[in-house]
Amino acid sequence: MRVLLVEPRNCWTGLNIALGYLTASLKKAGHEVKVLDLTNHRDWPVERMERAIIESFNPDLIGIALFYISYHGVKEMIARIKSCRTTPILVGGPQMVIEKEEIMRDIPQLDFALMGDGEEALVELCAALEGKTDLGGIDGLIHRSNGRVIRNRDRLINKDVDSYLFPDYGPFGIERISRYTLITSRGCPHHCTYCFRSTPRWRPRSPENIVQELDHAISNYRIDEFVIVDDAFNILPERIIAFCDMLEKSGIKMPWSCSGVRADRMTEELAARMRQAGCYSINIGIETLQPDLYDALNRGMTIDDLKRSIDLIKKYNFNTVAYFMIGLPGDTPEKTWDTYRKAKTLGIDYQSYSILLPFPDTRMHDIVYSMEGVRKLADYRTISTIWTFDPVFSRMKTAFDTPEYPAESKIEMYNKIRTLEGDPRPPYHKSIFLFALHAFWWVVKYETSSRIPATLFRLTRSFVSRLARAGGKSVSLTNNTYKESFLQEMQKLVETGNNGAGCAE
């Protein structure tokens, strides 16, 4: 079968690891795969590329990655394709934990949805579409039968994540990935009130398997460094120590960084070994330093744990990035500002703030929308929590506000702190001059006169660094080099394709 996998335009940049895993599984099963990556190629006209790829490749199945901020765009994409083609369409991704079978009712043209790991389920679906098996036997599949939406039984969690093939980025057109993204475990056993991604089982990969993937990535994508993006990286500190040992024994010497670090699981031995093995930066979730707000997060640790962990991380000279939330239940502008000032005293190198987005089926959603005076402003599917170089996804919004923290105050606080951290995030403009002018105005607006030169220096250094890493072509795409033949093929499709999502003239 010919399978087209689509990463829709959204607020993220960077390769979709899940599509890389699916590509590897499909190719091993003998299927032909193409990837339409609209989020990393923002100059590609969406509808024109849909049409051109579908008409030229003529897929037997179209799989679309679902992320909340791209939900409505995906819905429109499915409607466009189905207006003139009968090709089966599938969606999947972590958000299906929220959507479940309701997505089939909301998008009547959608044929299939997958819940859980898709590597095996997608191959099984292809077999069913070829008439070899029955749809009812595919665990984790949501489909239609005689006008009814059918949700098959949940798929059993595959405990042996080492059994999955390494991500294959060939159909993405990739020649080189300078900063390779790596997942060393799946799931998270904790139940933070704001997160919809927790699972009953945390599934770690073995250190041997992780190092094998790195060796594969060095050979195939000529990587310079790697970043680990687990939801829960250091649940077992001894596993990470073993990984560091094996990394050194393998002879792989390159810088790396990680996120998903639990403060209460950071030990001195772990910090020392990670630093020795090449880790230079650690991202850690703090969320707030206000005790009355922190307790409602159900994170299973304390603010003292966080402070102890930060001290330990700084002792071993890691670059430290900390994540915070604006607008937690009970938050006010004064409390957000107090957290910012307290975090400064901890020696954190960079504070990254986002505005709280309560997801359905989370305890945080119930807490927020039961508060007195809360005002719902937007559906969660329309909110971007990640700023990116895009006119749409660089305009911050909030899903709700309260009398104590109005929407405009939350957005203003976000803009102010981002600017003070040397990373102003004004609405993006394709004219670099106008964008830079707007960013300069924000620095003048939010900084004191004595700090303006230092902030401008940090901003300029960051911009020049991005531009240099992108070969002077882009300030947003810094990690991927594409094959010239692939770019030529895509450019030809851009020039020849018309709007219409694959409809024949």
Domain-terminating residue out of 321, 344, 371 = 371
Residues forming a β-bridge with 326: 355
pLDDT confidence bin for 452, thresholds 50/70/90: confident
Name the DSSP class of 70: G
Q: Which domain holds residue 88?
A: 2-158+486-496
Q: Are residues 338 and 444 in the same domain?
A: no
Q: Which amino acid is at 155?
A: R
Q: Are residues 335 and 434 in the same domain?
A: no
| Distance, C-alpha 376 to centroid of its chain | 25
The structure tokens 């059918």 sit at: 150
What digits encode the pLDDT tens for the residues 305-335? 999 999 999 999 999 999 999 999 999 999 9
Q: Are residues 408 and 466 in the same domain?
A: yes
Q: Is the pLDDT confidence value at 505 over 60?
A: no
The pair of structure tokens assigned to 228 is: 């680990």
Please check whether residue 475 lies inside any domain of the structure.
yes
pLDDT score, position 441:
87
Return phi, psi of residue 305, to 5°.
Answer: -60, -45
Please check whether residue 376 lies inside any domain of the structure.
no
Please check whether residue 168 lies inside any domain of the structure.
no
- Concatenated DSSP letters for 380-414? GGG--SS--SSTTTTS---SEEBTTB-HHHHHHHH
What digits encode the pLDDT tens for the residues 148-197? 999 999 999 899 999 999 999 999 999 999 999 999 999 888 889 998 87
Q: Is the pLDDT confidence value at 449 over 80?
A: no
Mean pLDDT over residues 461-485, rounded? 61
Q: Are residues 310 and 432 in the same domain?
A: no
User: What pTM value is reported for the model?
Assistant: 0.92
Q: Is the pLDDT confidence value at 472 over 60?
A: no
Mean pLDDT over residues 336-360, rounded? 94
pLDDT score, position 392:
84
Name the DSSP class of 478: -
pLDDT score, position 443:
85
pLDDT score, position 494:
82
Q: Are residues 478 and 490 in the same domain?
A: no
Please check whether residue 117 lies inside any domain of the structure.
yes
CATH code at position 91: 3.40.50.280
Mean pLDDT over residues 281-306, rounded? 94
Nearest-CA neighbor of 338 among 417, 409, 235?
Answer: 417
First-to-final CA distance of the chain: 25
User: For the purposes of burial, counting CB atoms within 10 Å of the CB of 362, is it exposed (0-12), middle (13-18) or buried (19 or more)?
Assistant: buried
Phi-psi region of 283 (alpha: psi -120 to 50; beta: other; left: phi over 0): beta
Please check whether residue 112 lies inside any domain of the structure.
yes
Q: Are residues 335 and 389 in the same domain?
A: no
Q: Are residues 7 and 103 in the same domain?
A: yes
Pairing mode, if any, of strands 174-177 and 148-151?
unpaired
The pair of structure tokens assigned to 117 is: 């790991």
Q: Are residues 182 and 327 in the same domain?
A: yes
Domain-terminating residue out of 341, 371, 401 = 371
Please check whether residue 501 lies inside any domain of the structure.
no
Please check whether residue 379 lies inside any domain of the structure.
no
pLDDT confidence bin for 477, thresholds 50/70/90: very low
Nearest-CA neighbor of 180 among 165, 189, 191, 169?
Answer: 169
Pairing mode, if any, of strands 256-261 and 225-228?
parallel
Q: Are residues 147 and 196 in the same domain?
A: no
Domain-terminating residue out of 371, 398, 423 = 371
Q: Are residues 263 and 332 in the same domain?
A: yes
Query: Residue length, the chain?
Result: 505
- What percentage of residues in the chain have a pLDDT greater than 70? 92
The structure tokens 């890493």 sit at: 469
Q: Are residues 136 and 63 in the same domain?
A: yes
Q: Are residues 425 and 473 in the same domain?
A: yes
Return phi, psi of residue 286, to 5°.
Answer: -110, -45
Find all residues with CB under 8 Å of 461, minimum gap 6, and list them: none
Q: Is the pLDDT confidence value at 476 over 70?
A: no
Domain count, the chain: 3
Asked if residues 253 and 208 have their Cβ atoms less than 8 Å apart, the reply is no
Please check whether residue 243 lies inside any domain of the structure.
yes
Mean pLDDT over residues 226-243, rounded? 95
Residues forming a β-bridge with 319: 281
